[in-house]
Amino acid sequence: MSADIQTEVIKEASMLKQKEMIARNYDELTSTAESGRKMVSTFVPGNLNELINCFGMLNNLPEINAINNGMRKKSGAMIMDAERAGHSEDVCTYVKADIGMMSKGNIAPNGKPMPAPDMLLLSYTGCFTFMKWFELLRHEYGCETVMLQVPYTGDGVITDNMRQFVVKQLKEEVIPAMERVSGVKFDIDRLRENLARSAKAEDDLVWVLESAKNVRSPIDAYFGGVYYIGPIFTAFRGTEDAVEYYRLLRGEVEKRIEQGLGPITPEGDMDEERYRLVVEGPPNWTSFREFWKMFYDEGAVVVASTYTKVGGVYDLGFRHDPERPLESLAEYCLGCYTNRNLPSRVELLEKYVNEYQADGLLINSIKSCNSFSAGQLLMMQEIEKRTGKPGAFIETDLVDPRYFSAANVKNRLESYFQMINQKRQSTKVA
């Protein structure tokens, strides 16, 4: 997540810690020529950070670079460059932002050139675009490329065959490739240590996210949540930095509950909590602050979101397990939100609406993101039917500023809040 935006919100200890972590990570990524460390490019859902760290390699995530560029208002020009080079308007804007970034010298958020990766590692977790994206990157960089094929959980369950299929690839393809690229022998005990740290951080993350069950909620689990998931979904899972970050964050949220405070916003503590929402779909990054303000100005708090599960649905009980290291990595990849079928997603949303005492479900449909957007209207209708709570549908994009209409989004949100109020009144009369 963007370090610049992070510090504007409020300077609590966890935020300063995350800013330092992100800055240091980009400095390490852009100084591999001096350090001699190898770099792996991979994606957030299903990323194998604990395994990558076993070999002393660095983890670069192209979609996080796109998010950073979106929040710093740089992605629009990058996308236009990619389209002029022949990429369709309908292609995922993360991809085009990445391609455009490469065409302009591949400058990282710290202002230094991002070196070419030594390895491309794709863990397919329900997003077909990832495969095409890596084809483009392989053509550009010509480095070693490994694809970890992760079966889609079409029936909603992880079977033994699925698990063993992924473990076999880890043993026979992924780990040998990492040994070749890094020159380091695989150490399963080091992996176990990393996984134990992951589980500890995951416990605290889940506690923080579930704190939103409080009325009033001390956090916003969508806008604030994107900062909370940053370390664990990116290059820090399995590290002491992540353990420390989530320890600090949990302590801060505990204090907010004790003091009866609502979420932190870019303008300070939020005032009265008037609406509790569950949100499906990623945020818009190019107008992130403006988008967020439309919610907290109305007293709307997002108490649960699916986007904060894109890198792992930990609140359903999964933890990385040092006693079953490779099996645990396989289950992590198989269980990511985008690798779940639509009935499983609907069940999760229904659980959130009920358990977090939400007033309804809001869907932010992303124009260029098929892995999220497919079936969303049907999901909304099903949630309305199951919970009796009203749903609403808005449309934006990830990092393309052309597809964020502030007036349109604001009008739809205001209409939705009116709908919630009407629903409350009719419930009282009944």
Domains delineated in the chain: 3-17+31-185 (3.40.50.11890)
Report the pLDDT value the prediction gives residue 2, as an integer from 0 to 100. Answer: 42
- Confirm if 275 and 393 have CB atoms less than 8 A apart: no
Res 209 pLDDT > 90: yes
Give one DSSP letter per residue of 347-408, joined into a string: HHHHHHHHHTT-SEEEEEEETT-HHHHTTHHHHHHHHHHHH---EEEEEE-SS-GGG--HHH
pLDDT tens by residue, 180-193: 999 999 999 999 99
Nearest to 396 by CA among 374, 419, 373, 371: 373
373 band by pLDDT with thresholds 50, 70 and 90? confident
Region 296-308: what's the mean pLDDT?
97
Q: Is the pLDDT of residue 266 over 90?
A: yes
Average pLDDT score over residue span 339-360: 97
Q: Residue range 139-166: average pLDDT? A: 94
| Whether pLDDT at 10 is above 70 | no
Is the per-residue pLDDT at 387 higher than 60?
yes
Residues contacting residue 313 through CB under 8 Å, at least 6 positions apart: 335, 336, 337, 340, 348
Which tokens in the block code for residue 123? Answer: 């863990």
**Two structure tokens written together for 240:** 């002491």
**Helix axes 342-355 and 376-387, enclosed angle (nearest 10):** 40
d(CA 423, CA 131): 44
- 375: CB partners within 8 A, 6+ apart: 342
Read off the pLDDT band of 288 (50, 70, 90). Answer: very high
Kind of pairing, strands 300-305 and 268-269?
unpaired
Contact 389, 366 (CB under 8 A): no
First and final C-alpha spacing in the chain: 46
pLDDT band at 12; cut points 50, 70, 90: confident
Q: In Å, how far from its chain's centre is CA 233? A: 6
3-state secondary structure of 275: strand
pLDDT of residue 11: 73
pTM (predicted TM-score): 0.94
Q: Are 350 and 323 in contact (CB under 8 A)?
A: no
